Each structure stands twice: as C-alpha cells, then as structure tokens.
Amino acid sequence: MRTFIAIDVNDEVKKQASEVIEKLMRRGFGANWVSEENLHLTLFFLGEVTEQKVSEIAEHLCRRVRGFPSFSFTVKGFGYFRRGKAPRVFWLGVENADRLNRLYEELRYELSHHGFSFEEKFIPHITIGRVKYYPDKWEKLVEDIDFSPVEVAVDSFKIYSSTLTPSGPIYRALYECHFEGGLIRHG
C-alpha cells in the first residue's frame, strides 16, 4: 500500500488554507487542491510498503521517539515550488521548526535501518495544491496572498495509507505514535 508519515494540522490551519485555495481558484488557478480533511505536514513518503512492514516500522519508530518532547511550530506564509518558470506546488510555510527538524532526523535515522533512504533536503511545508494550469502573469496574482501565523502543537505523528482515486486521494490513518509512548493502531 502507498504509505506516508505525517503530522496533522489544526482546524485554524485548515480554515485559512481553504480561504487561500478559494482565492487562488477565483484568480484562475487550477490545481489538484488538497481537501480540508486531508491537510497535513508530510514528514516522509514511503511509497509502496506491505502491511506487515508498516506494522514493523510503526513499532520501531514509536520506540525511537518515546520521550521526545512535545513541541509546536508555526504555519505562516504562502509560497510555491516551480518547474522552470511555472508554479508546480502551492504550499503554506512552516517556521520555528527546530524541534520538527529534530523529529525528522530521528525518524529518518530509524527508517534508514529499514531500507529507506531520503536524499532530498527536508523543507517543512503543507501542500495545498498541485498546479495543473495557471493564468498569464500568475506571479502578480499571488503576491498579496498570505497566511496569518497559526501555532500547531505536536505530540504525535501518524502513518497513513494513500489510495489514489479519480476524485482525489483517500487517506486512512493506520497508526498513531504518541511521544509519551503510546502506539495506536487505527482501522
């Protein structure tokens, strides 16, 4: 099954993200927009992983971060990744991410012992849309788009499955790992 590890975001982030998406749509941008209920901060995309391997990974990751201190990060600002001169992905920025980066490194270390390697630099962000089409002079149309700061408290992460459908991906939480030591199996 297609699998990824993520941190959920709170309702205020979801509300503001929906407002940003509506504004972009009104300005002529087309994208595979991330629905409110699917918004999250991806730590790792693992790809196709067997159910047994996911279970094993969940146990090891949870053991690795037992006692990791709860923390928060700030979601602030709007940006995009480009492909050449075209926008490719719209995202919300993340600040105050020192502990988030530390969590990433702990998980990455453990995942490397399970045959995974991640070469790209971790750039924490929340994807809100994968751009399909955009209007002329698009850069001018996104200059005034902003996202007011929202603090997100973190005391756990989740392992999700992702099923691709014609109407968009369906995410299902498989495991949740709490820093105080609890591993919850969902579904």
Reply yes or no on whether 60 is catalytic: no
Instruction: Please give the backbone phi and psi of residue 94, each rounded to the nearest 5 degrees, phi first.
Output: -130, 130
Q: Which of 40, 113, 114, 178 is catalytic?
A: 40
Reply yes or no on whether 114 is catalytic: no
Residue 141 in tokens: 């149309």
Q: Which of 60, 113, 125, 178 is catalytic?
A: 125
Residue 5 in 3-state DSSP?
strand
Nearest Cα neighbor of 146 from 20, 14, 11, 18 is 20
Burial label for 69, CB within 10 Å (0-12, 13-18, 19+), is exposed
Q: Which residues are catalytic?
A: 40, 125
